[in-house]
Amino acid sequence: MRTFRSRAGALLALVLVAAPAAAGEARCHVSYGGETKTLAAAPSAMPYMAPAQAIGTYFLVRVVVEAEPVELAALKTYVYADRDEGPALVHQGEWPWPAAADGRRHGFTGLQRVYEPLRDSELEYWCEAGEGAGARGAGR
């Protein structure tokens, strides 16, 4: 009986560790200045350690997938203006995770637009669920 419990405990620990990875990744398509980059974010136990990616010379974009706790799981996006004084948050988005991979034109986030206050231009982005990202139950 003791061996069964230790094996069951080890299996449960493995399932709990692997659960966020099974949710798949998010892919966000970011367009600015005529160039489009795809940023990928996988569920992470330490999502706020993910670095922001430079987009052009003015914007920084960070995509975070928080998978735990399940009832608060979300894809979060942060767009910063890269100013001399340091990054300044100019846009923040949050959507339930995992998201449905339903094939809509601009993914589950829809097309998001962020305006650049100094240079009068805009950054656009939209996110989709990557492979392995399943739909959340009807309760959310």
Question: Model confidence over 114-136: pLDDT tens digits?
Answer: 998 777 889 999 999 986 554 44
Instruction: Quote the distance between the C-alpha of residue 84 and its chain's center.
Output: 27
What's the predicted TM-score (pTM) here? 0.75
Is residue 82 assigned to a domain?
yes
Range of the domain at 110: 24-129
Residue 19 lies in a domain: no
Integer Cα distance of 67 and 73 in angstroms: 5
Instruction: Classify residue 55: in a domain, yes or no.
Output: yes
Give the largest CA-CA distance in the chain. 69
For 23-46, the pLDDT digits (tens) are 589 999 999 999 999 999 999 888
**How many residues in the chain?**
140
Q: What average pLDDT score do residues 80-101 get?
A: 91
Residue 33 domain-assigned?
yes
Neighbours of 9 (CB within 10 A): 10
Quote the number of domains for the chain: 1
Residue whose C-alpha is closest to residue 28's, from 117, 140, 111: 111
Let me know if residue 125 belongs to a domain.
yes
